[in-house]
Chain A
Amino acid sequence: MNAQRFLALIVAIIISVPLLFPGGHNIGLVNAILIWSIFAIGFDLVFGIAGMLSFGHAAFFGVGAYTLSLLTMRMGWDFLPALGAAGVIGGALALVFSYFAIRVSGLFFALLTLALSQLIYIMAGTKLRMLTGGVDGIAGVPRPDLFGIDFYDDGNYYFFLLALFVLALLISGLIRISPLGQALKAIKSNEVRAEQIGFNVQRLQRSVFTISGIYAGVSGGLLASLIFYVGPQMLHWSTSGDVVIMVLLGGMGSLFGPILGVAIFEIMREWLSMQTSHWYGILGLVFIICTIGMPKGIAGLIIQLWDRIMPGGKS
């Protein structure tokens, strides 16, 4: 076994908790981890692979949530086509963002994506109140109605989310090792050289930003259906901040790292928020200590420890 497989095993254990310990109270938490993981896996394609720090992903996440809610509740769409539409709209909005934001790089890119997503957040709470329900949001978002299975039962919904999670992970894993993924890594490594050997840097960046927007849109739609609610908070910049923290904490640029980050984040959110109302501050402190102590995140630390303990098992 090498370090990557060990990471995969840890992830497999985390997401299998409801199967390993049936009847426990952890199902809601694992469902949330699965959904946020889809978001984080997609975000890491932009952040960890292509090296673009976006602070605007809340927009795609939230818009996906609103799309699914409005299409199912107001237009009478079935759940699956509405979920597909959430992905498409998330991706389309990401494409629009990318046309503005990719002109600049680094900190300016982060600030521009932040500004654009805050624009969507403010519009959802004010100008589009008729559509979005304003600050109250929309309650009663449905879950899928498939094969006669009751997905309103969290235990059943877990399997639906697990299937989508595995699909999202496989697609992301394939993109990473495909020519597209390699080209994106090249751009992150040396943009000047990447362009000079013939990569259309901006087009590649727009492509991955769009793919990542699809991931965000789908996961946003899923979260709305998990909690039966969508509100402007999902569009708020702090949601973008959360996914950045999750990916950094878990280990950017690695396939399984973001999932570990999501798990830690969600577990802390669940437990700490019960202990103290200052849980977010404590989480911030943990995050700062982690990024200083382990720049490659938890995944990086595990790989390092694994290679030290089992030098022969190096990948």
Chain B
Amino acid sequence: MNAIAEKNSILRCEDIEVSYGAFKAVSNVSYDFKPGLLYGLIGPNGAGKTTLMNALSGRAKLSKGRVFLNDQEITGKSPHARTWAGLGRSFQITQIFAEMTVFENLRLAAQAHRFRLQPFWRPVGKFKEIANDAERVLSEIGLEGFGHVNAGSLSHGDQRALEIGLALLSEPKVLLLDEPLAGVGHDVVETAVELIRKVSQGRTVLLIEHNMDVVMEISDEIIVMLAGEVLASGEAETIKRDPRVRTAYLGEEE
């Protein structure tokens, strides 16, 4: 194993493969994610972007390969164990506790992070520290004043922000964001992008996004996937000029 690469990476996957029967959704993917960088993951529909994210976060079973977080092997660990190890994520289809209030949503994420064993001998309201955590993130994601609102009745854009807030409460070193701008109105895209920039401060972010302008603008490095494999990776300008990428992906857009 490359010792230097190990030291420099916060998240590393080695030759990972996810297959469903004969179909390989992800194959031959090896990648070193460096601390503090924002990675844009792009590719046409069905390229395996979300499957790769599922493989990293423990929602998809690997048929081959290994995953390391902070040099600790996390292959085969359950999603909650990976969250404890420092890997947070949001989902393509909004996953929130819709019938609970925004504050209750965040407080749940705070208690999941604070307590390994959930206390049952005191009312949840008596634990001031988790309420404080929830309040802090509530303002971080720009939802002050919405704490008492039912999460399910928030606007779509605010629900996406809440999803990021839920992931933030686990204090992740690596944050996986699966299309956080999907379905977000044009008028609030700017706010959402600002939030992504803000949460990427001091942590590694892997971002799946179809809005090319946004990805190219905010990513430090772009990873292009095609048919389950990494086709190319590098800085935005390099990617834009790469003829393989133009043919396989950007070409289709035009």
Contacts and interface: CB of A to CB of B under 8 A. Distances in A.
Contacts of A179: 111, 115, 118-120, 124, 127, 130
A183 B118 contact: yes
A198 B95 contact: no
A182 to B, nearest CB: 5
A190 B119 contact: no
A117 to B, nearest CB: 26
Interface string A176-189: 01111111011001
B68 interface: no
Contacts, number: 98
Interface in B201-224: none
A39 B123 CA distance: 23
Contacts of A197: 83, 108-109, 112-113, 166-167, 169-170
Contacts of A150: none
A186 B130 CA distance: 16
Given A177-B123, A197-B109, A190 B83 contact: no
A31 B107 CA distance: 40
Nearest to A202: B78
Contacts of B121: 174, 178
Contacts of A182: 104, 107-108, 111, 118, 124
B80 to A, nearest CB: 5
Contacts of B89: 196
A70 interface: no
A183 B80 CA distance: 13
A190 B121 CA distance: 24
A302 interface: no
B80 A195 contact: yes
Q: Chain A contact residues: over half helix, strand or loop, or mixed?
A: helix
B91 A183 contact: no
B84 interface: yes
B96 interface: yes
Interface string A81-112: 00000000000000000000000000000000
B95 A190 contact: yes
A169 interface: no
Most buried by B among A179, A180, A201, A204: A179
Interface string A274-309: 000000000000000000000000000000000000
Nearest to A211: B120
| Range class of the B interface residue count | 35 or more
A193 B111 contact: no
Contacts of A151: none
A189 B99 contact: yes
Contacts of A193: 91, 95-97, 166
Contacts of B7: none
Contact of B119 (A180, A185, A196, A198): A180
A126 interface: no
Given A178-B118, A193-B166, A199 B80 contact: yes
Interface residues of A, number: 24
B125 A177 contact: yes
Contact of B83 (A180, A183, A196): A196
Contacts of B166: 193, 196-197
B154 interface: no
B118 A186 contact: no
Given A178-B119, A204-B118, A198 B98 contact: no
Interface string B55-85: 0010100000000000000000011100110
B189 interface: no
B120 A178 contact: yes
A174 to B, nearest CB: 7
B113 A190 contact: no
Given A179-B115, A186-B108, A198 B84 contact: yes
B241 interface: no
Nearest to B130: A179
Nearest to A175: B120
B227 interface: no
A201 B80 contact: yes
Contacts of A190: 95-98
B83 A198 contact: yes
Given A182-B104, A190-B97, A192-B91, A198 B120 contact: no
A174 B120 contact: yes
Contacts of B113: 197-198
Q: Name, among B118, B119, B127, B170, the residue most crowded by chain A CB atoms within 10 Å (CB to CB).
A: B118
Contact of B112 (A175, A177, A189, A199): A199
10 contacts: A174-B121, A174-B122, A175-B120, A178-B123, A180-B119, A180-B120, A182-B104, A194-B112, A196-B79, A201-B80
For the complex of A and B, the 5 pairs showing the least CB-CB separation, nearest first, are A198-B112, A180-B120, A193-B95, A198-B83, A180-B118
Given A193-B91, A199-B112, 13 more contacts: A174-B120, A174-B122, A177-B123, A178-B120, A179-B124, A189-B100, A190-B96, A195-B79, A195-B80, A196-B166, A197-B108, A198-B113, A200-B78
